[in-house]
Amino acid sequence: MRLSSKIPFFLVNPAAGNGSTGSTWPGIAAYLKEKIGDFETHLTSRPLEARRHAAMAVERGVRKLICVGGDGTLNEVINGVMDFNQGLAGEIKLGFFPNGTGCDLAKTLAVPRDVKEAVRVISEEETIAMDIGRISHADHDGKGSVRYFHNIASLGLGGEVVRRVNRTSKRFGPFLSFIWATLITIFTYEKKRCILSVDGAAPRESVIWHIAVANGQFQGGGMWVAPDAGVEDGIFDITVVGDMTLSQVLINLHNLYNGRIKGVRNVECLRGKTVEVSSREKVFLDVDGEEPGTLPVRMELIPGAIKMMVDKGKRPGTIRSGCNVRH
């Protein structure tokens, strides 16, 4: 059945936020009915369902799509839109009601978590042309896989942390869930030797703790890993946490949260539109809070690919921290 392009379609993940989305959605839906009138809804019940239904909604004529959940749900929705027709993605107005474990993109965009404010934003339909990343990697069976990301794709420590977080109940909320997982993982993690190339430059091999390829600024429930990143600037910000001792990592952990990561010894800031990383070791990925596989990986930036609804009056500009950036 063909749907009206003017009626909003809500893709809701009831399990997001450790189940809080499911409990609050009936009240949100009642408020939406009062304020915006008719809308369509689909509640997901399993992984990848949001991806499939986003593609189906676009195929049926939906042009205003709102994700209710966390970064993982939003990642699925964006992948569904891109799966159906990458060229059509720019015609879709995408909204986000953040209510998940991470919701890190919401911090970069200043997307309101208050329901009334979120409804106002989607009613006003102010949009930005948001960049996204395309990532080619090995899945957990070693087969090639392609997907898209809107916030940050990372590897090394980040991949190990998200594996741990996604296996916990997350009942203590996003910040404490990620802090706990990060601390536990730091004490058990073994640094990786990786080969990195940015924009086709000569590959270089080094020992790393963590590499973050960033479109947004935050990951892991609030780690400010890429304070110079901007979702409209047409380039990735790449933070490489190099060969540190355990004590150095622990001493500088707070700098991951205060935006001062750039001043830490053995941390390097790069910029580029394509990133390739490989390793002879097994290195796990974290892609928008999901764990899709391992190295080798190639990431490419697609500028202005998605129209994202934002509160333009509150969205901060790119925060420049004075990072020692290399192009």
Domain 9-125, architecture per CATH: 3-Layer(aba) Sandwich (3.40)
Provide the whole-model pTM. 0.92
Residues of CATH 3.40.50.10330 domain(s) within the chain?
9-125
Sign of CA dihedral 72, 77, 82, 84: positive
- Of 152, 239, 145, give the one whose Cα is nearest residue 196: 239
Topology of domain 132-311+318-326 in CATH is: Tumour Suppressor Smad4 (2.60.200)
Please enumerate in sequence order all residues whose Cβ is within 8 A of that of 244, keeping only pairs 6 or more positions apart, or say none.
209, 252, 265, 266
**Terminal-residue alpha carbon distance, the chain:** 49
At 152, list the tokens. Answer: 């940050």
pLDDT one digit per residue (tens) for the chain, 327 residues? 666 678 999 999 999 888 889 999 999 999 999 999 999 999 999 999 999 999 999 999 999 999 999 999 999 999 999 988 666 677 899 999 998 777 899 999 988 989 999 999 999 999 999 999 999 999 999 999 999 999 999 999 999 999 998 887 666 666 788 889 999 999 999 999 999 999 999 999 999 999 999 999 999 888 999 999 999 999 999 999 999 999 999 999 999 999 999 889 999 999 999 999 999 999 999 999 999 999 999 999 999 999 999 997 775 544 333 333 444
Q: Let me know the angle formed at the C-alpha of 272 by 204 and 327, rounded to the nearest 5 degrees.
A: 75
Q: How far is CA 285 from the centre of its chain?
A: 12
Pair 215, 229: CB distance under 8 Å: yes
Residues of CATH 2.60.200.40 domain(s) within the chain?
132-311+318-326
